């Protein structure tokens, strides 16, 4: 079974194409015209082993909000579509990621019940050209469109770059584990309801 998907999202504010392969090797081609966001999405692809092609054009002459949020939506939609009926997935995962002085934990459930808990305190207003408040917006948009219950917690740390990068890496590793097929249940849905 091929677990690939392509999403095209076009609005008056953004034009985004996303291709994913859940059973890839973490290869990526990412162009959002937002340097720091590109860097984070490269981490997401590399450490989840999800191949990603992302091309985003948006009204960045206004600000970076629409492109950031809509990229989260499109990636989430692509992952949800590629996961299909979710037969055989492990469904749950928790990952702790250290990055120098920082430690971040991400726990998720691929439940089709989107929810975000965001316990990340950033002391600066910008990372690169991005307003740091946009990172919560990205994770919210991603969780909502992917249908994932997502808890993101920075346990401790000082450097805001390290905090955010560890959030994306922890999300990546949790996605890798939760989307992995468990051969023991490869033909069944991991829920007593019989559906997710």
What is the domain count for the chain?
A: 1
With residues binned 3-state (H G I as helix, E B as strand, rest as coil), the percentages for the chain, rounded to 5, are 35, 30, 35
**Where does residue 17 fall: left (phi above 0), alpha (psi -120 to 50 degrees), or beta otherwise?**
beta
Q: Report the CATH number at residue 87.
A: 3.30.230.40
Least confident of 7-16, 63-72, 104-113, 184-193: 184-193
Whether 61 is covered by a domain: the verdict is yes
In a domain, 190, yes or no: no
User: What whole-number distance in Å separates Cα of residue 10 and Cα of residue 133?
Assistant: 24
Task: Look up the domain containing 49 and give its range.
Answer: 4-185
pLDDT in tens, 154-168: 999 999 999 999 999
Is a pLDDT exceeding 90 seen at residue 40? yes
What pTM did the predictor assign? 0.96
How does pLDDT run across 52-90, given as a tens digit for each residue? Answer: 999 999 999 999 999 999 999 999 999 999 999 999 999
pLDDT of 1 higher than 80: no
Instruction: Name which of 71, 79, 66 is nearest 37 in CA terms.
Output: 71
Domain-embedded: residue 17? yes
pLDDT tens string 106-143: 999 999 999 999 999 999 999 999 999 999 999 999 99
Residue 191 included in any domain: no
Give the model's confidence band at 175: pLDDT under 50 very low, under 70 low, under 90 confident, else very high. Answer: very high
Question: Please, which pLDDT band fits residue 51 given cuts at 50, 70 and 90?
Answer: very high
The answer to whether residue 81 is domain-embedded is yes
Asked if 152 contacts 100 with a C-beta cutoff of 8 angstroms, the reply is no
In a domain, 75, yes or no: yes
> 175 lies in a domain?
yes
70, 58 contact by CB (below 8 A): yes
> Residue 17 to residues 111, 112, 130: CA-CA distances in angstroms?
25, 23, 21
């Amino acid at each position: 079974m091929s677990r690939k998907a392509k999403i095209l999202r076009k609005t008056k504010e953004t034009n985004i194409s996303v291709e994913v392969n859940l059973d890839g090797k973490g290869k990526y081609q990412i162009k959002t015209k937002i340097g720091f966001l590109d860097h984070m999405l490269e981490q997401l692809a590399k450490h989840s082993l999800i191949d990603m092609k992302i091309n985003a054009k948006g009204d960045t002459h206004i600000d970076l909000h629409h492109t950031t949020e809509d990229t989260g939506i499109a990636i989430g939609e692509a992952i949800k579509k590629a996961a299909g009926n979710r037969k055989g997935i492990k469904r749950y995962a928790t990952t702790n990621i250290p990055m120098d002085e920082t430690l971040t934990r991400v726990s998720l459930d691929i439940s089709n019940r989107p929810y975000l808990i965001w316990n990340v305190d950033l002391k600066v207003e910008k990372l690169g050209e991005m307003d740091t408040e946009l990172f919560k917006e990205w994770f919210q948009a991603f969780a909502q469109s992917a249908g994932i219950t997502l808890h993101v917690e920075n346990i401790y740390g000082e450097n805001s770059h390290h905090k955010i990068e560890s959030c994306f890496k922890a999300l990546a590793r949790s996605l890798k584990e939760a989307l992995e097929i468990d051969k023991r249940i490869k033909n069944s849905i991991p829920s007593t309801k019989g559906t997710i």
